[in-house]
Amino acid sequence: MTRYLARRLAFAAFLVFAVSSASLILTRLGEGDYVSGSLGIEARRETAAQARARYGLDKSIGEQYRTWLGRAVRFDFGNSLLYDRPVRDLVPERAANTAILAASALAIATLVGLPLGVVAGSRRGVVSGAIRSTSIVVLSLPPLLTSLVLVFVAARTGWFPIAGIRSAAVAPGGETLDFLHHLILPACALALPLAAVFERLQAQSMGEVIGEPFVLAALARGVTRRRIVWRDALKPALRPVTAIYGLVIGTLLSGSFAVEVTTSWPGLGNLMLDALRARDVYLVAGCAGAGAVFLACGTLVSDVALAMVDPRARE
Amino acid sequence: MIAAKKLADVPRPLHRIARLSKFACKIAWYGRVARFFKGSDSWPEGQLLTGHLRDLWTLGRLAALLCLASACGRATPPPPARTSSSSAIHAGGELVVSVRTEPRSFNRLAARDSPSDLVATLTQARLVRINKKTQDVEPWLAERWTASEDGRRVTLSLRQGVTFSDGHPFTADDVLFTFEAAYDSRVASVLADSLQVGGRKLEIAAPDPHTIAITFPTPFAPGVRLLDNVPILPRHKLEPALRNGTFASAWGLSTPPSEIVGLGPFVLAEYQPGQRLVFVRNPRYWRTAPDGTKLPYLDRVIVDVVSDQNAELLRLAAGQLDVTNGEMPSESYATVKRAADGGRVKIFDLGVAMEADSLWFNLKPGAFATDPRARWLQRDELRRAISMAVDRQAFADTVFLGAGEPVYGPETPANQKWYWTGTPKTPHDPAGAKALLATIGLTDHDGDGLLEYATGAPARFSILTQKGRPRLERGAAVVRDELKKIGVTVDVVAFDGAALFDRIGSAKYDAIYFRASRTDTDPAITPDFWFSSGTAHLWNIAEPKPATDWEARIDELMTRQVASLDEAERKRLFDEVQRIFIEHAPVLYFAAPRVIVATSSRVVNATPAVTLSPLMWSPDTLAVVH
Amino acid sequence: MHENRVSRLGTALVAAALAASLGAPLLAPHRADQRFAGLLNAPPTRPRLVDADGSVHAPFIYGWRLSNRLEQRYEEDRSRRIPLEWWTGGAVVRSSDETSAPLLLLGADSFGRDVFSRLIFGGRTSLALAAVAALSAVILGGLLGGIAGYLGGTVDEGLMRATDFIMVLPATYVALALRAVLPLVLPAGVVFALLASIFALLGAPFIARGVRAIVRSERRLDYASAAQALGASDVRLLLLHLLPATRGFIAVELTMLVPAFIVAEATLSYVGLGFPDPVASWGTMLHDAANVSVFADFPWLLSPAAAMFLVVLGLNLLLQGPSFSRHVRLPM
């Protein structure tokens, strides 16, 4: 087990480097660079050249990559061109915000989506149809639209703050509550499509498992319906969801950018978008690396959970 | 065990009752839940719900209706719409401003994005200030100044008794230091280019601690107008950074707020990364209102970073935001108007903007060397034909939803001082456009409705524009459709900002549709656009020598215009420049929007003006009702 | 039976979407990029049978008159009845006065283009792209996941790590780099092929992971060993016995991938890798409609969302409906 974990961790580290390098190179290959974006059209050629020299953008891709790699192995990921702060400080700060958002969204989605999926998969009729329709509505809406609808509702009702992570004036001691108050909207916006995905997968899988002979056998033995649904059939039915749970964790990070932009949540998604727009190569590499870290953790969690849930897959 | 013993101590009858009641509850609970879980198989067809579930269903519907009703209703009751009819302006209160992105630095010499500029306006002060409403130069840190006869020397007297926000006195040394930092090559300041005349630096000298003498390399008519750009930075705080060459990264975002010292109306109190900046009143601010009240009126200014335009709009309409740092796009007007009707928002219509969005072609000689289209793509006649083919009024109606006016030249009537009133208004004449195109060889040879060159190559080119800016994308689409009517095919390709600028800088394009705004109304302050050697000479950047004789003529006229000290002569020369410009049309203009800004109803004494920062250009005179 | 009705509803919806897409040139009254200059954000024109006086006529519409241009408010011009024309001008139905009072069944967008026509033409593009991409993703991911789950060991690990890499690399960077090397003006066909391949690559990892998990556990079941004992080759076992067990999972994934791809097309067009402007697509229509003023004032611009919902619902019912009928129903 420990060897397996060690191997996975080693690969995770390699993945982080691979993705950061790929992002750096791809962004350099793209048209335009930080200097052309920040100085605009009117800059003199000399000023632009000076700025490029200062940021190291005048070197060839290979050279810049080698310099970056040399520093990266010492955990120095360079200075963000956009914010002029070390990437090492900037990215974890924002990643923490996104992690909190993602964790709460995941919790909400699991708590809402899984039970609904079980209910929808184990019965027929209005309830199941209603749940299924709601899921499909949420799934077919683009995340941009979902978050916008929620922000709109928040604006109309005034129940939730519209944007940001913290209010300007907070009574001392009430900061956590204020933070939670701000967290609800983005977390729900992020959780809704996820809950729909979980619900659909769970319902599908549940429906299949209930068709298995062992369920009929249990019924014949007199086990109550409730116990069958929530205990015996649930465990094998959780298989597909646990398989993608880790993926979901990993992609929550990059997939959250629509929500973060609409609700001005200062997280990694927002940062990635700004970095891409500004062609800030070091920040882009840092953000991609952070995304890889999350994915690696996610897949690890997923594989471990899968092994726990389904003993057959344990080898 | 212990519990059982305890239970045994309870008198017997109660014991039995307790057990019985527990059993009853169990049965009732199971019964109820079992009924709830009954599947649809046992329900009769068409009757999906039993008795109490029907009640639940009704309750649920009522609840949903209630939620819907409250959601559709008004937001939390809006604060009573206070009108600013009272003439007395009360000091105190806080103002919330929104910006779209974070500032890149607190050092104005190192960053040129508009949030950084806002921070500089709030915390720093300049030698002189251009009043954006009247476009006149006002004394600011410099009380008065005299210019020499030949226009090459200006002597400014600095205000006495002024201190920085930390108490350190302000002297001419700080001015010298600021200019030194701006010109330093290690700093490569973004302001360096704008502080040069004819490509050469100014000479600054300080004969005494309260006098500054500036010598321009060549006679410069606008004079001190140039100094509006430069915030005066404290020498005592930043000199060490300049000496060891780290000035460019000094006062970055990780600087503790107490280090940011300035002469402006506010002081940075707190910076929450990614969210907001909080500024508080500078108690040592030197300016007072005409009636003697100490400025600024506001106690606090909160700059919120709101990355999404929708969220910004919603917050403004809900009264959670007071001012947005930028203009309002025409598409948002309907929402804001509704809020204004509800009394939560005030709308200011400031008239037509200073310049229109521009369409220009790549006129660099040899840019289309091997391309067969070179024979017609760079010709004057093509551009004049386009100018005739586009219906400008329809353009204004489509792109700006009617809140726009046709524009025929580089200046608009908003620039009252410099606009050439004799600007010819090109009529909308598609037939004339086609005839003009025929003179350069573009005719419809094969009768398919599309123009081709004599060789058979179709009349087709691409217009690049910036993605994500609806105004630009709409404008380019309108141009494309109008040109289709005369048989010219246009491909509109949208790029994101950095890629677009890259292409412009390296001259890899056919045509660009973009908004390149100029910083000042006086053309002498924006020479880079007019002179052929300028870096903002969009259609042919930084020419070593003028490529055409009309550009040479404009160069000559502009040189005289910059140096002449006679205002009437300057106007005459610039009118001629505009005439030549419109005749050869290197850049085409179609329509300019009417500038509309909105503030919450709390804001009083707003002085909106047509400039990059319509409301926040004068933060010390803003006040709120409270 | 209930299940058949459900899956028949699904089939009907999907068939309707297909029919609308194929018959787009006939069904749509206008071209996708045809602009009506004076009708920006105009509300839908309702076909009527009864006019203000109460007399019945052949179906007609009232034109829109601009009452406030800046606020984009319109009022009906009741003075003139504009009858509808059928089977003329290459369309099923049109207004008889196309220049000043066109038939706008779902209103007009912010450029003045007919939303209904753009919906149908855009459906063609988006649905074709999503279908091709989703199917490719399923095939690619299914094969990868099946092989990984079946063989196990190093092959399994290697394939899963590869999918990890693909998943974590943001597609926008790849699109950005691609845009730099591609020529300036891309014909729609090239963009279609590019987007389909990128989406197939993006969607495959999710499918691969789920398929792998299912195949791994199914592999140990009795029927698999029985088939092997009977002499089935690995390929036959995988393709005919194990992969079909993933049908349910793939069905669900398909219904999730299709809307995701439609929306992703709009995201990629932000970095420049999108369809050229005259080509409509649901993704860009929704992206343009993601605006606060739309919710309050111009809700018809959200019709692609409704259309997407119907298509996804139909797909879901179609793919998942039949699976219920074979199950033991839980007796109550």
- Token pair, residue B294, equals 């100490």
Helix pair C282-289, A143-157: axis angle to 10 deg: 20
- Closest Cα partner for B518 from B383, B408, B415? B415
Q: Which residues of A touch C292 (CB under 8 A)?
A: 148, 152
**Beta partners for B153?**
B215
Dist CA B517 CA A42 (whole Å): 11
C-alpha B501, offset from chain centre: 17
Q: Cα(first)–Cα(last) distance of chain B, in Å?
A: 68
Q: CA-based angle B216:B217:B218, to the nearest 5?
A: 90
Task: Please give the pLDDT value at position B1.
Answer: 43
Q: How many CB atoms lie within 10 A of CB B289?
A: 16
B244: Cβ–Cβ under 8 A, 6 or more apart, which residues?
Answer: none
* Separation of alpha carbons B385 and B232, rounded Å: 49
Structure tokens given for A72: 């990266």
- Cα B25 to Cα B394: distance, rounded to the nearest angstrom: 76
A135 CA to chain C: closest CA distance, Å? Answer: 9
pLDDT at B44 over 70: no
Looking at per-residue pLDDT, the higher value among A18 and A8 belongs to A18
User: Distance of CA B489 to CAs B29, B434, B444, B493, Å?
Assistant: 76, 13, 12, 13
User: How many beta carbons lie within 10 A of that of residue B59, not counting itself?
Assistant: 10
Is the pLDDT reported for residue B8 higher than 70?
A: no
Tokens of B37: 């879980």
Sheet arrangement for strand B203-208 = B142-147, B153-158, B211-215, B203-208
What's the one-letter identity of residue C97? Answer: D
- Is the per-residue pLDDT at B478 higher than 70? yes
Residues C294-314, mean pLDDT to the nearest whole number:
88
- Tens-place pLDDT, residues B296-354: 999 999 999 988 888 888 889 888 899 998 778 888 888 888 889 988 899 999 989 98
A73-78, long-range: CB within 8 Å, 24+ apart, which pairs? Answer: A77/A20, A77/A282, A77/A285, A77/A286, A77/A289, A78/A282, A78/A285, A78/A286
Between the two ends of chain C, the Cα-to-Cα distance in Å is 19
Whether the pLDDT of residue A68 is over 60: the answer is yes
Q: What is the mean pLDDT of residues A61-81?
A: 86
A151 touches B at CB < 8 Å: yes
Chain-chain contact of A83 with B102 (C-beta, under 8 angstroms): yes
C111 to B474: CB separation less than 8 angstroms, yes or no: yes
Q: What is the pLDDT of residue A310?
A: 64
Cβ contacts below 8 Å, chain A against chain B, sum to 163
Q: Which of A164, B480, B567 is nearest to C35 (CA)?
A: B480
Quick one: pLDDT band at residue B81, thresholds 50, 70, 90? very low
Least confident span in B65-69, C97-101, C198-202: B65-69
Residues C150, C234: contact at Cβ < 8 Å? Answer: yes
Q: In Å, what is the CA distance from B320 to each residue of A158, A162, B70, B76, C36?
A: 10, 9, 20, 11, 37
Share of chain B above pLDDT 90, in %: 47
User: Is residue B310 within 8 Å of residue A262, measured between CB atoms?
Assistant: yes
> What distance separates the 2 farthest-apart alpha carbons in chain A?
86
Q: Environment class of residue B68 by beta-carbon count within 10 Å: exposed (0-12), middle (13-18) or buried (19+)?
A: exposed
Is there a contact between A139 and C255 if contact means CB atoms under 8 Å apart?
A: yes
Facing B41 at nearest CB: one of C184, C277, C332: C332
Closest CA of chain C from B392, distance in Å: 12
Sheet with B587-589, edge to edge strand ranges: B489-495, B460-466, B511-514, B358-361, B587-589
Q: Is the pLDDT of residue B384 over 70?
A: yes
The secondary structure of B423-454, three-state, reads CCCCCCCHHHHHHHHHHCCCECCCCCCCCECC
According to DSSP H, which parts of B356-496 are helical? 374-377, 380-389, 392-399, 430-439, 470-485
- For chain B, what percent of residues have pLDDT higher than 70? 87
The one-character DSSP state at B349 is E
- pLDDT, residue B283, reads 93
Residue that the structure tokens 């632009």 belong to: A48
Q: How confident is the model at residue B569 (pLDDT cuts 50, 70, 90)?
A: very high
- Residue to mutate among A138, A146, A192, A204, with most C CBs inside 10 A, is A204
Three-point CA angle C216, C220, C225, nearest 5° = 125
pLDDT for res B427: 93
CA gyration radius, chain B: 33
pTM of the model: 0.84
> How much is the CA Rg of chain A, to the nearest whole Å?
24
Segment C58-110, tens digit of pLDDT: 888 888 888 888 888 899 888 888 888 888 877 888 888 888 888 899 999 88
Given a cut of 90, whether residue B464 has pLDDT beyond it is yes
Q: Average pLDDT of B43-55?
A: 44
What residue has token string 């909190």? A100
Of chain C residues 12-41, which have a CB less than 8 A from chain A?
A: none
Candidates B437, B120, B129; CA nearest to B279 is: B120
Distance from CA of residue C119 to its chain's centroid? 11
Residues of A in contact with B503 (CB under 8 A): 31-32
Show Cβ contacts of residue C49 under 8 Å, excluding neighbours closer than 6 positions. C56, C57, C58, C59
Cα→Cα distances C161→B300, C59, C142, C199, Å: 53, 62, 16, 19
Interface pTM, i.e. ipTM: 0.84
Report the SS3 class of residue C323.
helix
Segment B453-474 mean pLDDT: 88
SS3 B404: strand
Whether the CB-CB separation of B527 and B347 falls below 8 Å is answered with no
C237 pLDDT higher than 90: no
B174 falls in which pLDDT band (50, 70, 90)?
very high
What are the counts of helices (DSSP H) followed by strands (DSSP E) for chain C? 12, 4
In angstroms, the CA A114 to CA A112 distance is: 6
pLDDT value at residue B51 = 47
Tell whether the model's pLDDT for residue B256 goes beyond 70. yes
Q: Average pLDDT in the C215-224 region?
A: 83
Of A143, A149, A204, the CB nearest to C249: A204
Q: What is the mean pLDDT of residues B64-88?
A: 49
CB contact under 8 A, C70 and B403: yes
Sort out which chain B residues have CB atoms less than 8 A from C185's CB and list them: 462, 491, 493
- Non-local CB neighbours of B509 within 8 Å, separated by 6+ positions: B362, B462, B464, B503
Please check the confidence at residue A315 and state whether its pLDDT lies above 60: no
For residues B56 and B177, what is the distance between their CA atoms, to the nearest angstrom?
A: 76
Does A37 contact B76 at a Cβ distance shorter than 8 Å? Answer: no
**Pair B122, B301: CB distance under 8 Å:** yes
Quote the CA–CA distance of B308 and C170 in Å, as a whole number. 22
Structure tokens at B127: 């030698």
Say whether residue A153 is in contact with chain B using an 8 A CB cutoff.
Answer: yes
CA distances from A19 to A34, B474, B523, C162 (A): 20, 37, 49, 12
How far does CA A48 lie from the centroid of its chain?
A: 37
Q: Is the pLDDT of residue A26 over 80?
A: yes
Considering only the beta carbons, identify the residue of A33, A163, A164 that sits closest to B498. A33
> Residue B364 pLDDT more than 80?
yes
Q: Which of B42, B310, B493 sits opposite C185 (nearest CB)?
A: B493
pLDDT value at C176 more than 70: yes
Which CA distances in Å does C28 have to A222, C37, C104, C123?
60, 19, 10, 12
Nearest to C47 by CA among C85, C84, C79, C96: C84
> pLDDT for C130-167, tens place per residue?
999 999 999 999 999 988 888 888 888 888 888 888 88
Q: Which residue has the tokens 């990629």?
A: C268
Q: Which residue has the tokens 């009022």?
A: C75
Q: Is B258 helix (H, G, I), strand (E, B) or coil?
A: helix
**Rounded distance between C-alpha atoms, residue C249 and residue C214, angstroms:** 9
Q: Using CA atoms, how far apart are residues B387 and B385, in angstroms rounded to an integer?
A: 5
A122/C330 touch (CB, cutoff 8 Å), yes or no: yes
* Contacts B332 to C, Cβ<8 Å: 292-293
Residue C183: DSSP 8-state: -
Binary contact (B477, C111; C-beta < 8 A): yes
Q: Cα–Cα distance between B561 and B192 in angstroms, integer?
A: 22
Do residues A262 and A238 touch, judged by C-beta distance below 8 A? no
Inspect the interface and report whether the beta carbons of C256 and A123 lie closer than 8 Å.
no
Residues forming a β-bridge with B495: B466
Q: Which residues of chain B have a CB within 8 Å of the CB of A87?
A: none
Per-residue pLDDT for C239 more than 90?
A: no
Measured between CA atoms, the residue of chain C closest to residue B468 is C270
Distance from CA of B320 to the nearest CA of A (A): 9
Q: From the list C213, C311, C331, which residue is nearest A313 (CB)?
A: C213
Taking only the tens place, the pLDDT of each residue in A88-101 is: 988 998 888 888 99
Say yes or no for a CB contact (<8 Å) between A272 and C324.
no
**E-state strands within B435-590:** 460-466, 489-495, 511-514, 587-589
> Do residue C272 and residue B313 have CB atoms under 8 angstroms apart?
no
Smallest CA–CA distance, residue B219 to chain A, in Å, is: 23
Tell me if residue B279 falls in helix, strand or coil.
Answer: strand
With a cut of 50, say whether residue A248 has pLDDT above it: yes
Q: Are A37 and B498 in contact (CB under 8 A)?
A: yes
What's the pLDDT at B287?
A: 92
Q: What is the pLDDT of residue A159?
A: 83
Say if residues A276 and A7 touch (Cβ distance below 8 Å).
no
The pLDDT tens digits for B125-165 are 999 999 998 889 999 999 999 988 887 899 999 999 999 99
DSSP code of residue B35? H
Q: What is the pLDDT of residue B301?
A: 94
Question: Is there a contact between C283 and A142 if contact means CB atoms under 8 Å apart?
Answer: yes
The pLDDT score that the predictor gives to residue C220 is 82
